[in-house]
């Protein structure tokens, strides 16, 4: 019960985490309504998932505007129009505009497919992460939900989930095992963030 927080989810690709968040929102495990899905990639399957769930979508690319200031203010206006209170990055591969990071400080999260602070930072995305974990011979990996600030993979860690690295793993197998954990912990972490925030208010 209670008022649901308004959430925007940003995706660049398949959107399986978005799907998990849609599911959690529908079952009430996540006290948020996903009001908008934003993508830099018009072909992202995540946009299709949004449309299937009846969620509005917005394709956003700085290069479609005369300059970045106009691009940034258009994105901010769009989020405002939808009354967005929280932003969840879910496989979003672009850096967020600085004015947005400032405005939503403490209310933007990301999920990363490794146990940060290990295997984070520039270039550490997708299969690169899992290949690095395998190359290092680590016995475990996992996923991290963290707050977003101006630096890649740098913000406060909200939640982590661990999985074993198994003999015979390749990047795809490990990615699939990590994704299962991602789908669980992202909604949990968001729920805790939103609830904590509601108590503060
Ligand atoms: C996930 O592994 C996430 O941790 C990373 O990008 C991937 C997105 O997957 N940031 P999906 O689009 O949610 O399926």
Mean pLDDT of 190-194: 97
Q: Which residue among 171, 182, 187, 190 is best mutated to probe the pocket of ligand 1, counting the most ligand atoms within 8 A of its Cβ?
A: 182
pLDDT in tens, 131-176: 999 999 999 999 999 999 877 678 899 999 999 999 999 999 999 9
Decide if 112 is catalytic.
Answer: yes
59-72 exposure pattern, b = at least 16 Cβ within 10 A, e = fewer: ebebeeeeeeeebb
This prediction has a pTM of 0.95
pLDDT in tens, 58-86: 999 999 999 999 999 999 999 999 999 99
pLDDT in tens, 97-139: 999 999 999 999 999 999 999 999 888 999 999 999 999 999 9
Phi/psi of residue 191, each to 5°?
-60, -45
Give residue 119's pLDDT. 96
Kindly list the protein residues whose Cβ atom lies closer than 6 A to any atom of ligand 1.
Answer: 11, 13-17, 46, 90-91, 111-113, 179, 182
15 CA to centre of ligand 1 in angstroms: 7
Please report the atom of ligand 1 found closest to the CA of residue 17: 13
Helix 16-27 vs helix 171-200: angle between axes, to the nearest 10 degrees? 40
- Strand order of the β-sheet with 140-147 is 56-59, 32-39, 5-11, 86-89, 108-112, 140-147, 157-164
| Cα–Cα separations (whole angstroms), residue 175 to 94, 105, 146 | 21, 29, 19
Give residue 200's pLDDT. 38
Domain 5-194 has CATH 3.40.50.170: yes
Model confidence at 196: pLDDT above 50: yes
């Amino acid at each position: 019960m209670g008022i649901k927080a308004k959430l925007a989810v940003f995706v660049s690709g398949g959107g399986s985490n978005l799907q998990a968040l849609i599911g959690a929102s529908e079952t009430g495990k996540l006290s948020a309504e996903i009001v908008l899905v934003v993508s830099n990639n018009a072909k992202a399957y995540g946009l299709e998932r949004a449309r299937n769930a009846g969620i509005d979508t917005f394709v956003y690319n700085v290069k479609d505007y005369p300059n970045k200031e106009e691009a940034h203010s258009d994105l901010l206006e769009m989020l405002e129009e939808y009354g967005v209170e929280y932003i969840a990055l879910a496989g979003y591969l672009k850096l967020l505009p600085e004015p947005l990071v400032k405005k939503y400080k403490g209310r933007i999260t990301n999920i990363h497919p490794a146990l940060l602070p290990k295997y984070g930072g520039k270039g550490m995305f997708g299969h690169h992460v899992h290949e690095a974990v395998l190359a290092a011979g680590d016995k475990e990996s996992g996923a991290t939900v963290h707050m977003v600030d101006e630096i890649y993979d740098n913000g406060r860690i909200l939640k982590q989930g661990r999985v074993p690295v198994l003999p015979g793993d390749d990047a795809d197998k490990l990615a699939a095992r990590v994704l299962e954990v991602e789908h669980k912990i992202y909604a949990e972490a968001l729920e805790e963030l939103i609830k904590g925030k509601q108590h503060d208010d």
